[in-house]
Amino acid sequence: MSVGENIPHDSAVSHATGKSVFIDDRPEVHGEVFVGIVTSSVAHGKIKKIDMKEALHHPDVLGIFRGRDFHKNTWGTIVEEQPLLADPIVSYMDEPILLIAVNDRKSLSTVRKLIKIDIEEIPSIFTIDEAVAAQKFIHAANPFVQGNVEENLKRSPHRLKGVFECGGQEHFYLENQASVAYPLENGQLEIHSSSQHPTETQHLVAHALGLRYCDVVSIVKRLGGGFGGKESQAAPFAAYAALVASKLRRPARCVLSKDEDMKITGKRHPFKIHYEIGFDDAGLLIALRVQLYSDGGAYTDLSPSILERAMFHLDGAYYIPNIEIKAAACRTNNHSNTAFRGFGAPQGNMVIESIMEDIAVYLKKDSFSVRRANCYGIKERNVTPYGQWVENNQLPFLFDELYKISAYEKRSQEIKDFNLEYSGKVRGISMTATKFGIAFTARFLNQANALVNVHADGTVQVSTGATEMGQGVNTKLAQIVADTFGISTELVRVMPTSTEKNHNTSPTAASSGADLNGAAVLEAATKIKQRLLSLGTTLSWTDVVKKAYFERISLGEYAHFKTPGLDFDKEIGKGRAFNYFTMGTAVTEVEIDEYTGQSKVLRVDILMDLGRSINPGIDRGQVIGAFAQAMGWVTTEKLVYDKARHLLSHSPTTYKIPSLQDTPPILNVSFIENHTNTVNVHASKAVGEPPFVLGLSVWTAIKRAIGVRFAGKVIPLQSPATGEQILGLFKKMSKET
């Protein structure tokens, strides 16, 4: 009933009235202190001496803390190797070294100037090339191999070789990293943080302070945006607040400014990719050899998993009979790069979409026909490089249908005509696809638990491990519960995520929030419903609940869910890595000003298979939001560093996310009917990350538009396609011709 309805976000009213409470909106309680961070002024070095005597005498300073003040100063989601506070080795510019506790945050700038940190510099590695030359790797993955690449490359009628680089991306969530820690009795702590992973926050705080998990409660009401940036990297800031709270026995708040946040925290991984592709006259792929390198930064963080997902998505929507994917994550002296919507998949996918454009140029074909010819088949040509079949494959339909509804053919002709007439502008059009594997590739994370409590008045409280960061997971959970009970969502409240109600939870990540927690919620609610059904079906909801209470029938339920059937074997690189795929296609038309290199998206058409959407309005928001974010990544969002590795683009003045004017003037989003995804709750499909990959069509369209001036030439466009890069390419290539 309420599943499938387009109802508003459960926080829509409080958001629109400014009443939604985020971490720094919490009223300061008596005795509360603010925690400031002092960071490194070099990218790599050994701390020789810290002089904080003068700072400690500042009247507003209550304490200054170092790494050694933690019970355990190392953390890491995959490998415990990253210091909470660098001590004594610093490994990246602006790495946190000290915490200052003050009464008033306004004092921090003065206090910081009183501290002198003497660091002896150590040579640094900043680029992927330098790391590869020095063989500095965080992780080298087991390769994915299918068929015989060597032999088939040799016998390919055509071969293209290339190197492709894509840049990082700042999350730019609007709410910066933020935590408050409240000391409780018996050494317990209550942490409120803006985190996608309350359980990791709980565990890290416990490790850092030498507490047991049962002594730390970690609560997340909501996040002002996450996008992966608060999956692993929110936890250290909670540990900072917790350390100060426990040392001073006072509530402690740690909230970063945008500049601090951008300098300290990790970003999307930049990648450098070497490839050789073999194909036939029709453009059909024969063999592909790829070596991926990512810049993991100074510490492991989530880099191995992100690298793997890049490998899993290198095929994109296309069947590659012979393929070899090798990959390694480099260790550099950059901020430790981390999860960001897509989690490596966009970087992997970008390689194959770039290759598709190049093959089309090389064979003088339209890139759509090359893509369509290589698209995974329904009955054949449908095995991925890691051996999983592409089941329930909607890709051919999504390509063909969007070709029609976007008027691709007619517009291609119009664009050709436009480009023939000189106007100082060139246009390009391109269709790309997404086939996003849904499941954590770390198998154990594919579990969730839920608590559903029906109160005597018939209202319901639902708790899960999912965190609400704007994506609408709470709304979907409420809809699933309301639907199960046959009641209005008005009667259902989804409560703040708390580790005292839901334990050992997975991060809200990998687009899985509604899938995993929705399934758990459905199971819990169904169990309650079955008990109520025994009381007869003629009673109204409130009456049956009342009756159940007096009959001493339990009105609460807990359920645990795990995704069945996942058996990917990392050793051999084969198996069922994903529960299913979310698929879609997008056509983008761009225009480039030949004088300035500035690009503009004129029109976007998106077609997606989201199964039976639980809330089409929310899903639409996810699709458009993800697309826009990807559009920024491939165009204006450029991270700029100086020689010493200071991040120069550390605020919106210098780091440009898409603005309202960048919204494509024509933006059509449609979903296909597909009720067959029975492996997921209510036959829905995950939506958070898959449409991000569709933003690549902006980049491939730019690549095509530049090519207007250089017929038959492969355009060596890298990402992001800034005005500077585009204009530079025009100039460089016109010299070559």
Q: Which residues 224-243 are close enough to bind another protein by CB under 8 A?
A: 224-225, 227
Binding mask 622-641 for another protein (x = CB under 8 A): --xxxxxx------x-x-x-
Residues 422-461 close enough to bind another protein by CB under 8 A: 422, 424, 426
Rounded-to-integer distance, Cα 118 and Cα 120, Å? 7
**Is residue 195 near another protein by the rule CB under 8 A?**
no
**Paired tokens of 488:** 């209005």
Q: Which of 419, 461, 526, 676 binds another protein (CB under 8 A)?
A: 419
Cα separations in angstroms, 5 against 9, 186, 480, 619, 668: 12, 47, 11, 11, 20
**Paired tokens of 417:** 């005509």
What single letter denotes the amino acid at residue 61? V
Rounded-to-integer distance, Cα 691 and Cα 585, Å? 9
**Is residue 517 near another protein by the rule CB under 8 A?**
no
Least distance (Å) from another protein to the CB of residue 9?
7
Binding mask 644-683 for another protein (x = CB under 8 A): ----xx-xxxx-xxxxxxxx-x-x----------------
Residues 27-46 close enough to bind another protein by CB under 8 A: 27-28
Rounded-to-integer distance, Cα 512 and Cα 244, Å? 34
Rounded-to-integer distance, Cα 386 and Cα 576, Å? 8
Cα separations in angstroms, 299 against 45, 80, 327: 15, 9, 17
| Closer by beta carbon to another protein, 109 or else 538 | 109
Q: Which of 4, 5, 15, 414 binds another protein (CB under 8 A)?
A: 15
Label the pairing between strands 189-193 and 116-121: unpaired
Residues 88-127 close enough to bind another protein by CB under 8 A: 109
Helix or strand (DSSP H, E) at 161: strand 158-166
Among 44, 78, 84, which residue's Cα sits nearest to residue 234? 84
Which span sits near another protein by CB under 8 A: 144-152, 300-308, 387-395, 705-713?
Answer: 705-713
Cα separations in angstroms, 285 against 150, 155, 321, 358, 360: 14, 12, 7, 12, 12
Active site residue 170: no
CB 710 within 8 A of CB 702: no
**Is residue 617 near another protein by the rule CB under 8 A?**
yes
**Paired tokens of 155:** 């016998």
**Is residue 65 near another protein by the rule CB under 8 A?**
no
| Closer by beta carbon to another protein, 259 or else 401 | 259
| Closer by beta carbon to another protein, 83 or else 342 | 342
**Is residue 77 near another protein by the rule CB under 8 A?**
no
Rounded-to-integer distance, Cα 494 and Cα 10, Å? 8
Least distance (Å) from another protein to the CB of residue 724?
4
**Is residue 14 near another protein by the rule CB under 8 A?**
yes
Binding mask 570-589 for another protein (x = CB under 8 A): --------------------
| Closer by beta carbon to another protein, 213 or else 418 | 418
Least distance (Å) from another protein to the CB of residue 149?
33
Least distance (Å) from another protein to the CB of residue 227?
7
Number of residues that bind another protein (CB under 8 A): 94
**Is residue 13 near another protein by the rule CB under 8 A?**
yes
Residues 468-487 close enough to bind another protein by CB under 8 A: 469-472
Least distance (Å) from another protein to the CB of residue 727?
6
Q: Which of 401, 689, 724, 736 is catalytic?
A: 689
Burial of residue 333 (CB within 10 Å: 0-12, 13-18, 19+) is buried
Rounded-to-integer distance, Cα 625 and Cα 606, Å? 12
Residues 154-173 close enough to bind another protein by CB under 8 A: 171-173
Per-residue H/E/C for 50-73: EECHHHHCCCCEEEEECHHHCCCC
Q: Which of 4, 8, 143, 377 binds another protein (CB under 8 A)?
A: 8
What are the residue numbers of the active site?
689
